[in-house]
Amino acid sequence: MSTPKVVTFHYTLKDSKGTQLESSFGDEPMSYLEGVGQVIPGLEDQMHGLNKGDKKMISVKAADAYGEVEKDMIVQVPRAQLPKKDIVVGDQFHADSGNGHVQVVTVTGVNDTHVTVDGNHPLAGQDLNFDVEVVDVRDATKDEIEHGHAHGPGGHHHH
């Protein structure tokens, strides 16, 4: 079995209309440990085997990115149950998903009695396009494999 790789890359993310959503160019590149789900599956699958210096345009369908929009994750909540009164569309809250996990929900509608919140990822249901440039590819260290994530330059100190 080969050693998992740590891939470091720059990217520009655009939606299916070509609108730029974010970019790491001009900032720090992103690093991930292969095979542990640190980046969306469709991106990791298409980056597998790339080498330092490689550039690639990668299109990822919604199902292989942040998933399709799940209608049951869009709910109406009585205003009285929310922690603040001056709620506007776009506000985000941490909500208990009921199974011990906390998720971020985004307000998508407000009326006199209820607030509509959406627990889907903001990019759910969207096909995404990445312009990537691989900065480095190296074997993961024993610590990185044990910890399940890439460590920065000089190691990682979180213990």
Domain extent at residue 39: 5-66+125-147
Q: What is the pLDDT confidence band of residue 156, given thresholds at 50, 70 and 90?
A: very low
Q: Are residues 50 and 10 in the same domain?
A: yes
Q: What is the arithmetic mean of pLDDT over 135-153?
A: 89
What is the pTM (predicted TM-score) of this model? 0.80
Q: Tell me: do 50 and 11 sit in the same domain.
A: yes
Answer yes or no: is pLDDT of 158 > 50. no
Q: Which residue has the tokens 């990019």?
A: 123
CA quadruple 130, 155, 2, 11: dihedral, nearest 10: 10
Q: Specify the CATH number for the domain of residue 89.
A: 2.40.10.330
- 157 pLDDT higher than 70: no
pLDDT tens digits along 51-105: 999 999 999 999 999 999 999 999 999 988 877 788 999 999 888 767 777 888 9
Asked if residues 107 and 92 have their Cβ atoms less than 8 Å apart, the reply is yes
pLDDT of residue 100: 74
Predicted pLDDT at 153: 60
Mean pLDDT for the chain overall: 90
Query: What b/e readout covers 63-98, taking b as 16+ CB neighbours within 10 angstroms?
Result: ebbbeeeeeeebeebeeeebeeeebeeebebebeee
DSSP state of 39: S
Give pLDDT, residue 127: 97
Residue-wise pLDDT for 43-53, tens only, equals 999 999 999 99
d(CA 47, CA 17): 22
Query: Alpha-carbon distance 10 to 4, whole Å?
Result: 20
State whether 58 and 130 are in the same domain: yes
Q: How many domains does the chain have?
A: 2
Q: Quick check: is 62 in a domain?
A: yes
Instruction: Give yes or no for residue 159 having a pLDDT over 50.
Output: no
Q: Is the pLDDT of residue 150 over 70?
A: yes
Does residue 48 sit in helix, strand or coil?
A: coil
User: Residue 133's domain is classified under what CATH number?
Assistant: 3.10.50.40
**Residue 130 banded pLDDT, cuts 50, 70, 90:** very high
